[in-house]
Amino acid sequence: MRRGRFTEDQIIGVLLEHEAGVKTAELCRKHGISDETFYNWKSKYGGMTVSEAARLRTLEDENRRLKKLLAESMLDVSALKDLLGKN
């Protein structure tokens, strides 16, 4: 996955600027982002604090790891069933 130019702290800072009353177009120009990027950030991080964003990141990482473990175990079970001839 591609890492962006902005950290979660910076993203939340931009969103807080918007909540303080700065217009979207001005924010996008100031930080060098597109409107689409801003609204994607707003949908993902809107209303969050920095600590909540860190918690979200750890939960997403854990979820990704668990999904990988499940897929590997399902693959192992499938291979064993094929090996034993039980479908």
Residue pair 40/6 in contact (Cβ under 8 Å)? The answer is no
Residue pair 15/42 in contact (Cβ under 8 Å)? The answer is yes
Encode pLDDT of 5-54 as tens digits: 899 889 999 999 999 999 999 999 999 999 999 999 999 998 888 899 88
pLDDT tops 90 at residue 3: no
d(CA 15, CA 28): 11
